Amino acid sequence: MLRVVLGLIFAGLLTAFCLIVLIPFEVSILENQINVSPFAGTSQQQWLAIFQDTAFYQVWTAFFFSLAWLLASWYRYQIKYWKRAGGRLLWSGFLIVLLLFELAVGWFRTDPTQDVSGKLAAILMYVGNALLIFYLSSLLSSPTSVKYAPIGAVAVGRVNKFW
Amino acid sequence: MSYYAFGIGGTGAKCVESLVHIAAAGLLPDKEDLHVLFIDPDGANGSVGRATSLLKNYRDCRLGKVGSEELFKTKIEPLRAKDADDNEPYIWSPLAGGKYQLDSFYSSTLLSDETRFLFDILFTPEEQKTNLEVGFRGRPAIGSAVMATAVDFEKSEPWRSIRKQMEADVGNSKPVKIVLFGSIFGGTGASGFPTIGRIIRDWVEDLRSEASSAVDLGGVLLLPYFSFPPVEDQGVAANSEDFLLNTQAALQYYANKNNLGVFDRTYLLGSENRIRMREAKVGGRLQENDPHFIELYAALAAADFFGTESEAGAPQFILAARKAGDRLTWSDLPNSTDVQKKLVHLARFCYSFLNTFHPMISDIVGRGSEYRAPWYIQFFKYRGVPVRDQLDGKLEQFRTYCQRYLLWLANIEYSVGENLTDGPNLIASSSYATAEQDRRGGEVRIRDRFDADGLDTLHLPGEGKALGPAAIWNGMSDTHTRANADEATWTFFNSLYKQTGN
């Protein structure tokens, strides 16, 4: 249970990082580097405000998916009999559903831009934020019985003795 | 300290079998080596075969042991003749040389007339001609005659090598404790126990006084505790209906001749409720009797003897009894808290290994997806252990041992009340064993799949609940090791042993 609590704290810290640091940074990238140009009827500031709102809710969505994975896997994978061991299918399911959700919500909530790269960049940022929170928190703090379920966890575990 | 255990006859071998199991559980005192010898003219005897096979299994498991856990802490070495093959289990037969009949053993045709007449008075023609290759057929008089001639500490092997080894121990200021196991009612045990005891005592008395005081001789003598249907059409054969009479006669003889006075300590064990063995055979592979709780007492008696300081003075006789004749509880056993803790702990280890960890390892080797078992990655994958080879090696040896241990425990349980389901006496065995009734009676077998909650029924003494299977899995998954590939497998066993003891 301690690992679940630590996992929650870690997911929370990543969420806070995204909210406080990453999203403002992404807004600045979209405004200054990419210089998104919405179509007539929407100013750039309005477009960026919608992006920021959407990113805010997407980040919280990723946090709750991380929470759901931590709790569901901790509950589901109390291994009384060896055939119950596993977790990768469930983890992959959570990841795919989260990414599809982020893509769908991001696509429909984000107004189109004259240069398609603007909207694509915004969607990539939504997905990247979600991956950062869900993947990192599950990679580093999944419950003990499924700590190697996330793809890549076996390689990371070889050097991470805290595991 | 050096420990020596001689299992005389089939019952003696079964006592040694129990001794090996309690040694695996860490119940023998300190970490001295135990030296074991099986004595039986019937080298193919099923009970002896099972005991020697177990001993080999134990030694295979223990090979490469690292760490200081109680698990398999005692090194057990079989005593052997000087030129014996190191890889074969050693069973000493007093009838070596192919002379399996009493008259050929004594070369009766070469005896003088007076000796020949005495020989004919003491032994019937049938007894003289009986094939003794399958044992002394419940005739201790035959066995005593053979044993007294064959056991020679000066000239014959393995006795000469054993004597030299014990003398070397004494010379190195290492006290020697020797225990003999045998039955009072059978053939080999009844004849070998007093005879070999006397021969050892004579050797001890020939030592210098300070050396002789460093050697203690203990005897664990089993009174009748089982019966079997009469053996048909086999000529001279043991008859369980004569056991009590034989016992009475033997005890009277011991008292008159003070034969038990050769032992510094004698443990007398028996059960008024004699369990009926499933099948009666004269000897050979099929004469294999199931383990019985009396043999657990016998093994604990030996552990008590090994762990007790010798006291000068009159020989001591130890008696014990259960509180209720139809039950056996932990408090009926000597040193009950420690015995319960270690036997149950080993049972939990075996249960977990057989039900969870070994099948998981096999499945990973066959189908991959090792991420399912974090402990596998940490103990085997990261350590570079060739697991496929280990499945045929150390892991298989442990799997075999664990099955043997649980089967032994289930038989112990069964022998109390001849069932497994009517409430546990010592350990609830029905979660991992069944007793199938067939025409031969109840045969205890290990289940193919154990109950998922069965581990929770294996209670360690003391307050608090022991870890369940999920907690053990998590505990193993949280354990890290820096062991190299050669040590990693034993490190895994040590960790599992530690987890199952919490």
Residue at token pair 């009612």: B185
pLDDT average, residue stretch B316-320:
74
Cβ atoms of A123 and A110 within 8 Å: the answer is yes
pLDDT average, residue stretch A61-78:
93
Per-residue pLDDT band for B212 (boundaries 50, 70, 90) equals confident
Q: For position B84, what pLDDT does the model report?
A: 73
pLDDT tens readout for residues B444-467: 889 988 987 888 888 888 767 778
Minimal CA separation from A113 to chain B, in Å: 44
Query: Which chain A residues are within 8 Å of B352, Cβ to Cβ?
Result: none
Per-residue pLDDT band for B421 (boundaries 50, 70, 90) equals low
A161 Cβ contact list (under 8 Å, min separation 6):
B480
pLDDT tens readout for residues B325-344: 788 899 999 989 999 999 99
In angstroms, the CA B164 to CA B84 distance is 16
pLDDT tens readout for residues B18-54: 999 999 999 998 778 999 999 988 777 788 999 999 9
Cα separation of the two ends of chain A: 14
Classified as helix, coil or strand, B204 is helix
In angstroms, the CA B20 to CA B89 distance is 14
Q: For position B406, what pLDDT does the model report?
A: 96
pLDDT average, residue stretch B315-319:
74
What phi, psi does B154 have (nearest 5°)? -95, -40
CA angle A144, A149, A154 (to 5 degrees): 90
Minimal CA separation from B285 to chain A, in Å: 38
In angstroms, the CA B66 to CA B330 distance is 31
pLDDT average, residue stretch B204-213:
79
Minimal CA separation from A139 to chain B, in Å: 12
Asked if the C-beta of A163 comes within 8 angstroms of chain B's C-beta atoms, the answer is yes
- Closest to A113 in 3D by CA, of A23, A50, A56: A50
Least CB–CB distance from B470: residue in A78, A87, A148? A78
- Provide the percentage of residues in chain B whose pLDDT is more than 90: 44
Q: Is the pTM of this model over 0.95?
A: no
Question: Given a cut of 60, is residue B439 above it in pLDDT?
Answer: no
- Provide the percentage of residues in chain B whose pLDDT is more than 70: 87
User: Residue B476 is encoded by which pair of tokens?
Assistant: 């193993």
* Lowest model confidence (mean pLDDT) among A113-127, A139-153, B369-383: A113-127
Asked if the C-beta of A118 comes within 8 angstroms of chain B's C-beta atoms, the answer is no
Contact A79 B469 (CB under 8 A): yes
Cβ atoms of B26 and B501 within 8 Å: the answer is no
Least CB–CB distance from B374: residue in A80, A144, A158? A144
Buried/exposed A31-43: b ≥16 CB within 10 Å, e otherwise: eeeeebebeeeee
Q: For position A122, what pLDDT does the model report?
A: 93
Dihedral (Cα; B165, B167, B171, B177), 10-degree rounding:
90
Q: For position B375, what pLDDT does the model report?
A: 97
Query: Which chain B residues are within 8 Å of A145, Cβ to Cβ?
Result: 374, 470, 473-474, 477
Q: For position B31, what pLDDT does the model report?
A: 74
DSSP assignment of A102-154: HHHHHHHHSPPBSSHHHHHHHHHHHHHHHHHHHHHHHHHH--GGGTT-STTHH
Helices B188-206 + B140-150 axis angle, to 10: 30
- Closest to B95 in 3D by CA, of B134, B140, B52, B48: B134
Asked if the C-beta of A148 comes within 8 angstroms of chain B's C-beta atoms, the answer is yes
Q: For position B295, what pLDDT does the model report?
A: 96
What phi, psi does B269 have (nearest 5°)? -135, 145
Q: For position B187, what pLDDT does the model report?
A: 74
pLDDT tens readout for residues B392-416: 999 999 999 999 999 999 999 888 8
Give the H or E element holding residue A76: helix A44-76
Best A141, A142, A148 residue to mutate vs chain B (most B CBs within 10 Å): A148
Question: Which residues partner with B276 through β-bridges?
Answer: B227
Looking at every residue in chain B, the average pLDDT score rounds to 85
Query: Which chain A residues are within 8 Å of B468, Cβ to Cβ?
Result: 80
* Lowest model confidence (mean pLDDT) among A3-17, A91-105, B44-58, B105-119: B105-119
Query: Which chain A residues are within 8 Å of B469, Cβ to Cβ?
Result: 79-81
Q: For position B418, what pLDDT does the model report?
A: 72
**B96-to-B146, B150, B151 alpha-carbon distances in Å:** 11, 9, 11
Per-residue pLDDT band for B236 (boundaries 50, 70, 90) equals low
B306 Cβ contact list (under 8 Å, min separation 6):
B1, B3, B28, B29, B177, B179
pLDDT tens readout for residues B77-108: 999 887 777 766 788 888 866 667 777 777 76
SS3 per residue for B339-362: HHHHHHHHHHHHHHHHHHHHHHHH
Question: Given a cut of 80, is residue B65 above it in pLDDT?
Answer: yes
In angstroms, the CA B433 to CA B421 distance is 10
* Lowest model confidence (mean pLDDT) among B13-17, B316-320, B415-419: B316-320
Question: Given a cut of 80, is residue B135 above it in pLDDT?
Answer: no
SS3 per residue for A7-20: HHHHHHHHHHHHHH
Task: Find the closest chain B residue to A144 by CA distance.
Answer: B474
ipTM reported for the complex surpasses 0.85? yes
* Lowest model confidence (mean pLDDT) among A55-64, B84-93, B188-197: B84-93
Task: Find the closest chain B residue to A161 by CA distance.
Answer: B480
Question: Given a cut of 90, is residue B355 above it in pLDDT?
Answer: yes
Long-range contacts made by residues B151-156, C-beta under 8 angstroms, separation at least 24? B151/B94, B151/B195, B151/B196, B151/B199, B153/B199, B153/B200, B153/B203
Question: Given a cut of 60, is residue B440 above it in pLDDT?
Answer: no
Question: Given a cut of 90, is residue A128 above it in pLDDT?
Answer: yes
Q: What does DSSP say about strands B91-92 and B265-269: parallel, antiparallel, or unpaired?
A: unpaired
Tell me the residue type at B418: E
User: Residue B448 is encoded by which pair of tokens?
Assistant: 């193919």
Query: Which chain B residues are within 8 Å of A157, Cβ to Cβ?
Result: 374, 377-378, 382
Q: For position B93, what pLDDT does the model report?
A: 86
pLDDT average, residue stretch B406-432:
84
In angstroms, the CA B359 to CA B346 distance is 19
In angstroms, the CA B81 to CA B250 distance is 31
Query: Which chain B residues are within 8 Å of A86, Cβ to Cβ?
Result: 369, 372
Classified as helix, coil or strand, B126 is helix
Per-residue pLDDT band for A137 (boundaries 50, 70, 90) equals very high
Question: Given a cut of 80, is residue A126 above it in pLDDT?
Answer: yes
Best A2, A76, A79 residue to mutate vs chain B (most B CBs within 10 Å): A79
Q: For position B371, what pLDDT does the model report?
A: 96
Question: Given a cut of 80, is residue B75 above it in pLDDT?
Answer: yes
Dihedral (Cα; B397, B398, B401, B407), 10-degree rounding:
-130
Query: Which chain A residues are within 8 Å of B478, Cβ to Cβ?
Result: 144
Question: Given a cut of 80, is residue B321 above it in pLDDT?
Answer: no
In angstroms, the CA A10 to CA A3 distance is 10
**A39-to-A55, A111, B45, B210 alpha-carbon distances in Å:** 20, 8, 96, 109
Minimal CA separation from A6 to chain B, in Å: 15
Query: Which chain A residues are within 8 Å of B453, Cβ to Cβ?
Result: 80
Classified as helix, coil or strand, B192 is helix
Best A144, A154, A162, A163 residue to mutate vs chain B (most B CBs within 10 Å): A144
Contact A145 B381 (CB under 8 A): no
Question: Given a cut of 70, is residue B110 above it in pLDDT?
Answer: no
Question: Given a cut of 90, is residue B303 above it in pLDDT?
Answer: yes
A13 Cβ contact list (under 8 Å, min separation 6):
none
B180 Cβ contact list (under 8 Å, min separation 6):
B6, B8, B12, B192, B193, B196, B197, B200, B217, B218, B219, B220, B263
Cβ atoms of B176 and B214 within 8 Å: the answer is yes
Q: For position B200, what pLDDT does the model report?
A: 92
In angstroms, the CA B98 to CA B230 distance is 28
